[in-house]
Amino acid sequence: MNTKIRVTVWGEYVHEKKNAAVANIYPNGMHETIAEGLRESAGIEVRTATLAQPEHGLTKEILDQTDVLTWWGHAAHGDVDDKIVDRVQARVLQGMGLIVLHSGHYSKIFKRLLGTTCSLTWREAGEKERIWVCNPGHPIAQGIDRYFEIPNEEMYGEPFAIANPDEIVFLSWFQGGEVFRSGCTWKRGNGKIFYFRPGHETYPTYHQKEVRRVIQNAVHWAVPEGSRWIDSAPNVPIEKAAEKIVQQGETLHKPGEAGFR
Amino acid sequence: MNTKIRVTVWGEYVHEKKNAAVANIYPNGMHETIAEGLRESAGIEVRTATLAQPEHGLTKEILDQTDVLTWWGHAAHGDVDDKIVDRVQARVLQGMGLIVLHSGHYSKIFKRLLGTTCSLTWREAGEKERIWVCNPGHPIAQGIDRYFEIPNEEMYGEPFAIANPDEIVFLSWFQGGEVFRSGCTWKRGNGKIFYFRPGHETYPTYHQKEVRRVIQNAVHWAVPEGSRWIDSAPNVPIEKAAEKIVQQGETLHKPGEAGFR
Amino acid sequence: MNTKIRVTVWGEYVHEKKNAAVANIYPNGMHETIAEGLRESAGIEVRTATLAQPEHGLTKEILDQTDVLTWWGHAAHGDVDDKIVDRVQARVLQGMGLIVLHSGHYSKIFKRLLGTTCSLTWREAGEKERIWVCNPGHPIAQGIDRYFEIPNEEMYGEPFAIANPDEIVFLSWFQGGEVFRSGCTWKRGNGKIFYFRPGHETYPTYHQKEVRRVIQNAVHWAVPEGSRWIDSAPNVPIEKAAEKIVQQGETLHKPGEAGFR
Amino acid sequence: MNTKIRVTVWGEYVHEKKNAAVANIYPNGMHETIAEGLRESAGIEVRTATLAQPEHGLTKEILDQTDVLTWWGHAAHGDVDDKIVDRVQARVLQGMGLIVLHSGHYSKIFKRLLGTTCSLTWREAGEKERIWVCNPGHPIAQGIDRYFEIPNEEMYGEPFAIANPDEIVFLSWFQGGEVFRSGCTWKRGNGKIFYFRPGHETYPTYHQKEVRRVIQNAVHWAVPEGSRWIDSAPNVPIEKAAEKIVQQGETLHKPGEAGFR
């Protein structure tokens, strides 16, 4: 019996092929390094998928067999097919976990699920980021001390234009003076969503052990609970009402007809 | 000085022209009846807009001068132009209130802001609906007793596939045995959103005084607070950082270059 | 290795000894029937505790070994020692799950964690209650159909004066015309809290299989995640600051002194 | 007609009488300086109350005439009478706004309403605090630029052991390397609650214009909406049920008897 958590690591895989600095840090693509970090956790089984693959590597079959999806994209958010975004959204609502990483804040799927622009301020100065734990007991913060530092990172600053999070797990302090809600959770349908800030492509962030630990933790936290409910907006015929009633007044729909969408 | 709340009542205005039963109850369209109900409140100034108008009556100028938008649609959600949905969403995030009525649960704008399917179960039997107040002190429940009844309504039943609401103001009891979260609030950006269940087009619901009172209350509640912030994802150059820092490591962007979207 | 969930079922155990009708339904006390229902689930290990025991059966040792606590009380909320309430609260904040049942809405621990009065309206008429699932995919709703019915129950009606819940899992429809938020979740610290409405002592509710299933589900859902963090409000001395700083301005506390509480 | 917002500024007024440094900055007590800041806003009418007054200056009459209460305490939280805390809590649930300042995080009333310990880490080094706006459109952030700085403040750091806030309006960056959720909102009953971090008594924080502006804004935001509902847990007799029902099964209460509390 396979009881491992099945993770699909999605990577845009564009800058790694165009930019020498990025290629140097992530020679097989960022997704492979993120996947490598997850494979360090015994209970996790990982596959990867990228933008250039047919259906961006996110076929119905693959998503059906995915418990948690991680998402990193930056330069090509607009190239992600809306039909695939629909499909990912549907799976999240069914219960698939979603871990959105760094520049994924501007991905179609994240904006779709949150309903806001997800904008922020930024600076690419390679400055120090210190990530603080807001709740040391939280499952996503396990194995992390009071804080950890990333020596060189892009700055993301408030205001971060997100729907109010359910919980804030991490906050960042930046050397240049900004702060940021770096680890946030939401629930949409039965899917748990976690946004984690670090991961600019010109720095070796996904090689760092604390970053890997947080993503591992987030995967364990985001595993589907309950069952895969698919909503269908069913008509409940009068004769099947829980209490006996009779038709009154005018109707728009004929008996058994589907509703408008 | 004009201190009235400026409301735009949006109506799909399709069934009223096609279906005799609907036309009989709402001869000038449902939007005109909803507008009439709002005009009973001295502090509210109302205009209407409909699907068939250019830009669905929701030009940039009109939205800029709208404090609260009410939305009723049913048969033609798919005909609403995505560009107009983008525009309405942007205004909500800036702070415009949004009151979504009845079958508007399936409107593009509501699903866009909530990130979920917004499905439910339904039955068109003209049964009795009793709407209970969950918080008698809430501004949207003022003037309503412990409950009020609508003699004939369409049933909407749980599960209602929405993002978890901030507050639940009303719950419905249906004669046929169902229940429903009939009055829910959310915030997206600075916009307050209220969903109110009643209003099937084959019944005179928007002529009923309690329904009118709730929509009036909701308009007063949803008035923009604060200011119209428009997020722009600005780059913060190194020389403008609050703390003095110097460039370190590799960069993707040239100085002053805009980020990816 | 013991991997079972360790549940302590707390029962007031007052009416069962005084009232013949209650004693007839729950001859060994309601807590024993609730415990029996939980023991039907293989993964759960159950002990019970009651008001009359020393420390109400909730010693530090027992709470330390409790993953999830269920709470039923009605006539003697005021007899629960505040020191024990403090202890239970501290364990919930550390991560112990808490399932509050029926008239436990007025328990000290529930009011303490929610910050509100938790009042409601009520009627003891033995009427029919129909409990609807608001989210069929939710772990607490597994094994329950669209709804289930309890033939005879006390009515609890809105307004239910609670802090806004994180999620609403169940809503009740009552024969006499009321509705109620019957299954609600909150998080306080790292503890998951679930309130479940049914369970008036003059009816055999805790013998009913759907009620037992929901409580079993809730126990599985409420299991502690993460770690037992105990907050201590530590002073961070200047020399241990993450960034080098020097003392400036006046101080109230001498170096190393504890803060006020 | 008086349409001004009636604010009561509560101050512990202990350190100002014992500590020369504090007395030097706040010769009439911190409450008088906070009140002075609020009086700069035309629409606000202010009175003050202190610990040493009978009933801590918070009689039933005064609270009845208070729209928003601000709370600063530090050394003597334990000396606040539980009966007065009960009274303040009841008024908050009715709709009175509550602004909790700085060391008020450990006040009985704040812990009571949140249900958590409200602990944090701290350091009294007079370091620089930079307070960032998380939502520039939010009413509490009006008149504040992207951030403002307080030259010398006590550090409060995460983890801040609070119930998850509804919204986060401000985050702090500290020179010594910490971050903090400095401006948070919650709702309990109909009362709006805002916690605002700055205000250590050995620094002139409440003389600073940005701090005053935030507290003014918060008062305007926290004004009661709706009505003063007082919950009473009424019994609904069978003959007054909305739907006709008859008594079934056993009962615990005689007709008309009050429920247990």
pLDDT at B201: 96
Give the strand pairing for C179-188 and C167-174: antiparallel
Instruction: Identify from D105, D252, D254, D261 which residue to disrupt to test chain C contact, counting C C-beta atoms within 10 A and taking the largest count.
Output: D252
Tokens, residue C99: 């399932």
Which of B146, B155, B171 should one mutate to test binding to chain C, selecting the residue with the greatest count of C CBs within 10 A?
B171
Calpha distance D253→C201 (Å, rounded): 11
Closest-CA residue to D177 (of C247, A132, A215, C52): A132
Nearest residue on chain A to C96, alpha-carbon basis: A137
The C-alpha of C128 sits at a distance from chain B's nearest C-alpha, in angstroms, of 11
Helices (H), chain B: 15-18, 20-25, 30-39, 60-64, 82-94, 108-114, 209-222
Give chain D positions within 8 Å (CB) of B149.
242
**Bridge partners (DSSP) listed for residue C147:** C132
Label residue A2 by pLDDT band (50, 70, 90): low
pLDDT classification of C160: cutoffs 50, 70, 90 = very high
| Residue-level pLDDT at A252 | 87
Total Cβ atoms within 10 A of residue C51: 21
Contact B242 D187 (CB under 8 A): no
> CA C73, CA A235: separation in Å to the nearest integer?
41
Question: What local confidence, expressed as pLDDT, does residue D233 receive?
Answer: 87
Average pLDDT, integer, range C123-144? 97
pLDDT, tens digit (0-9, with 9 covering 90-100), for B236-255: 999 999 999 999 988 888 77
Question: How far is C167 from chain A, CA to nearest CA, in Å?
Answer: 10
Indicate the pTM of the whole model.
0.97
How far, in Å, CA of B127 to CA of B203, rounded?
A: 11
Shortest distance between the Cα of D132 and any Cα of chain A, in A, equals: 7
Chains touching C (at least 3 CB pairs under 8 A) are: A, B, D
Amino acid identity of residue D70, one-letter, is T
CA-to-CA separations, A10 to A36, A107, C32, in angstroms, rounded: 13, 12, 50
Output the six-digit token pair for C10.
């707390």
Distance from CA of B215 to the nearest CA of A (A): 24
Strands (E), A89-233: 97-101, 121-133, 147-157, 167-174, 179-188, 191-196
| Residue C12 predicted with pLDDT over 60 | yes
Residue D31 is predicted with a pLDDT of 98
Give the one of B178, B201, B252 whose C-beta lies nearest to A124's C-beta.
Answer: B252
- For residue D240, the model assigns a pLDDT of 93
Contacts D135 to B, Cβ<8 Å: 189-190, 229
Question: Residues B123-159: pLDDT tens digits?
Answer: 999 999 999 999 999 999 999 999 999 999 999 999 9
Q: Do D226 and B147 make contact, defined as CB atoms within 8 angstroms?
A: no
Q: Which two tokens stand for residue B6?
A: 């400026």
Please give the residue of chain D at the shortest CA–CA distance from B225. Answer: D139
Q: Which residues of C touch B174 (CB under 8 A)?
A: 173
Q: What is the pLDDT of residue A1?
A: 44
Measured between beta carbons, the chain A residues lying within 8 angstroms of D177 are 130, 173
- Sheet strands (E) in chain A: 5-11, 44-50, 68-72, 97-101, 121-133, 147-157, 167-174, 179-188, 191-196
Using an 8 Å CB-CB cutoff, list chain B residues near A241: 123, 125, 127, 176-178
Q: Taking residues C142-169, what's their average pLDDT?
A: 98
| Interchain CB contacts (distance < 8 Å): C and D | 193
Which chain C residues are Cβ-neighbours of B177 within 8 angstroms? 130, 173
DSSP letters along A229-249, please? ------B--GGG-SS-----S
pLDDT digits (tens, 9 = 90+) for B186-216: 999 999 999 999 999 999 999 999 999 999 9
Provide, as residue numbers in chain C, all residues whose Cβ is less than 8 Å from the Cβ of D201.
252
CB contact under 8 A, B236 and A121: yes
Residue of C nearest to D162 (CA): C189
Residues of chain A with Cβ-Cβ distance to C187 below 8 Å are: 167
Convert the pLDDT of each residue in B76-134 to its tens digit. 999 999 999 999 999 999 999 999 999 999 999 999 999 999 999 999 999 999 999 99
ipTM: 0.96
- Altogether, the residues listed in chain D come to a count of 261
Question: From D163, which residue of chain A is nearest by alpha-carbon distance?
Answer: A167
Distance from CA of B31 to the nearest CA of D (A): 27
Residue of C156, C236, C246, C257 best to disrupt the D interface, most CBs of D under 10 A: C236
Q: Quick one: pLDDT band at residue A258, thresholds 50, 70, 90?
A: confident
Distance CA C116, CA C110 (A): 9
Q: Which of D19, D127, D163 sits opposite C188 (nearest CB)?
A: D163
Q: Per the CB < 8 Å rule, is D250 touching C113? A: no
Q: How far apart are CA B113 and CA B94, in angstroms?
A: 13
Nearest-Cα residue of chain C relative to residue D154:
C251
Residue of B nearest to A245 (CA): B176
Look at residue D2 in the predicted model and tell me its pLDDT: 59
Chains touching chain D through at least 3 C-beta pairs below 8 angstroms are A, B, C
Closest chain C C-alpha to A140 CA, distance in angstroms: 7
The pLDDT-based confidence of A208 (bands split at 50, 70, 90) is very high
Q: HSE, CB side, 13 Å, CA atoms: give it for residue B180.
A: 31
D134 to A171: CB separation less than 8 angstroms, yes or no: no
Q: Which residue of C124, C174, C202 is the best one to mutate when testing the D interface, meaning the one whose CB has the most D CBs within 10 A? A: C124
Q: Which of C116, C150, C158, C172 should be substituted to probe chain B, the one whose Cβ sees the most B Cβ atoms within 10 Å?
A: C158
Strand order in the sheet with C44-50: C44-50, C5-11, C68-72, C97-101, C191-196, C179-188, C167-174, C121-133, C147-157
Amino acid at B66: T
